[in-house]
């Protein structure tokens, strides 16, 4: 296996399917000026050296959305593997139904609660589209 986090090698990303009491999932739109701007995605981010995927998710969700997560409330759900720009990415999707705070886009991103059936109408990042399809199949 190639080293994790080395440029041109495997990058591990933790993503979150956060569900509200009405069964809607929270998605965020990548802001202008960022790579792949305008596309919708599950919140999350890259796992840093020394972090577990779950720790990275707790950190990223706090930084991006101002939410507090509890590790025990994160349930691993699915993953997708893909190559882009000379690197390879492994996205690990977790599901969560309990958190603290009110989600707000702290990094300039738009956020939206959507039903799984409505999410297919959004312009999703291709890897996130695959994860959404898995959620629709199993939930």
Whether residue 1 is contained in a domain is answered as no
- pLDDT at position 2: 45
Whether residue 67 is contained in a domain is answered as yes
Residue with tokens 């960022």: 34
Whether residue 108 is contained in a domain is answered as yes
**Domain of residue 32, CATH code:** 3.90.79.10
DSSP string over 76-106? EEEEEEEEETTEEEEEEEEEES--BS----T
Higher pLDDT, 14 or 137: 14
- pLDDT at position 105: 95
- pLDDT at position 139: 77
pTM here is 0.90
Mean pLDDT of 115-131: 91
Q: How does residue 4 score in pLDDT terms, banded at 50, 70 and 90?
A: low
Whether residue 23 is contained in a domain is answered as yes
Torsion of CA 126, 22, 99, 89, to 10 degrees: -10
Instruction: Give the residue numbers spanning the domain of 31.
Output: 10-138
By the 8 A CB rule, do 114 and 40 touch?
no
């Amino acid at each position: 296996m190639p080293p994790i986090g080395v440029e041109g090698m495997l990058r591990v990303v933790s993503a979150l399917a956060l569900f509200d009491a009405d069964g809607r999932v929270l998605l965020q739109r990548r802001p202008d000026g960022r790579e792949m701007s305008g596309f919708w995605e599950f919140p999350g981010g890259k796992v840093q050296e020394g972090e577990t995927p779950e720790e990275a998710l707790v950190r990223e969700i706090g930084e991006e959305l101002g939410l507090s997560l509890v590790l025990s409330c994160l349930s691993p759900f699915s993953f997708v593997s893909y190559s882009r720009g000379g690197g390879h990415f492994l996205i690990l999707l977790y599901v969560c139904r309990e958190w603290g705070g009110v989600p707000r886009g702290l990094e300039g991103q738009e956020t939206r609660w959507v039903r799984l059936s409505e999410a297919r109408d959004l312009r999703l990042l291709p890897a996130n589209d695959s994860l959404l399809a898995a959620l629709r199949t199993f939930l």
